[in-house]
Every structure is written in structure tokens, then in C-alpha cells.
């Protein structure tokens, strides 16, 4: 097994309320990714294998980071949160928040209902999301050399859930905390992938870049 560094994509379209509109980086998202790419280059980080999901925001992040050959895998894609939220509104009367703070209460409710099979006809089941997260990380971990993976916050929170045995509410809290272009490292310990880095943004730590530490 080898260690895996997961990177959340740069800031996407914060005004979006559907999957298609959300799937593009903002101007700040491109800048966050460029800064991360510069940081990795200057720090001498070695990632002979690079992966990403197939979503536009994943590809734009990888490109702005200046990454070389990137293996795209749809198993690294995000859950369809907006689609799930629309189903929750239609089926259970839970309104979709208009402001960022509203998601603090909204996201755990969506996760709970999804995990308990209380959302009819979701784009994928909770179990399928669990299985694809586990399978793609196992395949990447079986390769040679450190791997860098550009993906999304929901996927990263599921990876952390599986590594630490988190319940659904704890996974939701983790998902809410994950910043754009943050790094999260899973390291093989005792035959299992364990988290040794969470939500690191060293490329955004200087005082003139604090404004770029975004969650949405």
C-alpha cells in the first residue's frame, strides 16, 4: 500500500443550486488551485501518480495546479448533493438553504435521510457511494508510489468516515469543514488507510491569502 493525498477542488460556482451550474470553478477557485500547484512544486512534493474525478471542476483544478498526466476515474466524482437536496424538498418539505449558514443544519439531515433510504429514487444509493469510494481508494493504494487525487468534499468526507469509523452525523461535520483546495492524506498503517493529514491549506496560510480559505 502507498499513501494517498486527497485534494478538494477549488471554489466552484457559489450561486448554483443544481449540479450542472455548480460544476465550474470561480475565478478564486482557479487562483486557489494555482497557489496549491506552486506550493507542491516549491516544496518538492513527489507524486508519480495523479488521479481525478471526471467532473469539470476536478479537471479545471488539476489543470490550474499544473499537473501532468492525470488518470480520470468517475468513482472519484462527488455525490449529487443538489439532486438529493431537491428530492428532500419535494418528498419531505425540507427547503434548500439560500445562504451558506443554512447548510450547517441542512447537510446532516440530507445525509441521514439518504443513509436511511428515506429518499426515493436517489441518483445513487448511500451504499453504492460507500462501495465506490472504498473500491477506488483500494485500487489506488495498491499501486506503486505516492498518489495525488483531485476530488470533492463529499468524497473526502466518506473516505475519512471509512478510515475512522465515523457515524453519519460526524461525517457531515467533516464535510462541512473541508476547505477548497485543502489536502487530506491517508497513510497505510497496519494494513489499513489511516488519516495523517486533514484540511491542510499551507498555500493559503499567509495573511494576504486568508480570504481565500473558503468552504463554498
pLDDT of residue 13: 86
Across 85-191, the runs of DSSP E, i.e. the strands, are 147-151, 183-189
179 belongs to a structural domain: yes
Task: Let me know if residue 216 belongs to a domain.
Answer: no
- In this predicted structure, the answer to whether residue 21 has a pLDDT above a threshold of 90 is no
- The DSSP output letter for 8 is E
Range of 94's domain?
4-211
Q: Could you give the 3-state DSSP secondary structure of residue 72? A: strand
Q: Is the pLDDT of residue 102 over 90?
A: no
- Give yes or no for residue 164 having a pLDDT over 90: yes
pLDDT of residue 100: 76
Q: Within a 13 Å sphere around the CA of 17, how many CA atoms are in the beta-carbon half?
A: 11
pTM of the model as a whole? 0.95
**Quick check: 67 and 49 in contact, CB under 8 A?**
no
Mean residue pLDDT across the chain: 95
Q: Evaluate if residue 16 carries a pLDDT over 80.
A: no
What pLDDT, on the 0 to 100 scale, is given for residue 63? Answer: 98
Domain contains 187: yes
- Stretch 80-104: mean pLDDT, rounded? 92
User: What average pLDDT does this structure show over 34-38?
Assistant: 98
Mean pLDDT of 146-154: 97
Residues 63 and 52: their CA atoms lie apart, in Å, by 11
Structural domain tally of the chain? 1
| pLDDT of 54 higher than 90 | yes
Determine the average pLDDT of the residues in 180-199. Answer: 96
50 confidence band (pLDDT: 50, 70, 90) = very high
Q: Which of 31-35, 73-77, 95-99, 149-153 has the lowest mean pLDDT?
A: 95-99
Is 57 within the bounds of a domain?
yes
pLDDT tops 80 at residue 10? yes
Q: Is residue 74 part of a domain?
A: yes
CATH code at position 101 = 3.40.50.1240
Question: Does residue 143 lie within any of the structural domains?
Answer: yes
Confidence band of 159 (pLDDT split at 50, 70, 90): very high
Q: Among candidates 82, 88, 95, 87, which has minimal Cα distance to 55?
A: 82
What average pLDDT does this structure show over 80-93? 96
The verdict on residue 62 lying in a domain is yes
Amino acid at each position: 500500500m502507498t499513501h494517498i493525498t486527497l485534494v478538494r477542488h477549488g471554489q466552484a460556482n457559489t450561486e448554483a443550486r443544481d449540479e450542472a451550474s455548480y460544476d465550474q470553478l470561480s475565478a478564486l477557485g482557479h487562483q486557489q488551485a494555482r497557489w496549491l500547484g506552486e506550493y507542491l512544486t516549491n516544496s518538492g512534493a513527489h507524486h508519480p501518480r495523479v488521479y481525478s474525478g471526471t467532473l469539470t471542476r476536478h479537471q479545471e483544478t488539476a489543470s490550474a495546479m499544473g499537473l501532468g498526466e492525470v488518470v480520470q476515474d468517475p468513482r472519484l466524482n462527488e455525490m449529487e448533493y443538489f439532486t438529493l437536496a431537491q428530492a428532500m424538498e419535494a418528498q419531505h418539505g425540507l427547503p434548500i438553504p439560500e445562504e451558506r449558514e443554512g447548510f450547517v443544519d441542512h447537510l446532516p439531515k440530507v445525509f441521514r435521510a439518504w443513509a436511511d433510504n428515506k429518499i426515493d429514487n436517489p441518483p445513487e444509493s448511500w451504499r453504492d457511494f460507500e462501495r465506490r469510494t472504498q473500491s477506488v481508494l483500494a485500487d489506488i493504494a495498491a499501486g506503486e508510489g505516492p498518489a495525488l487525487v483531485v476530488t470533492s468534499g463529499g468524497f473526502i468526507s466518506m473516505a475519512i468516515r471509512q478510515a475512522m469509523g465515523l457515524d453519519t452525523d460526524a461525517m457531515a461535520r467533516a464535510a462541512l469543514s473541508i476547505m477548497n483546495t485543502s489536502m487530506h492524506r491517508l497513510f497505510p498503517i497496519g494494513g489499513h488507510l489511516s488519516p495523517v493529514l486533514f484540511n491542510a491549506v499551507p498555500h493559503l496560510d499567509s495573511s494576504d491569502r486568508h480570504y481565500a480559505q473558503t468552504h463554498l
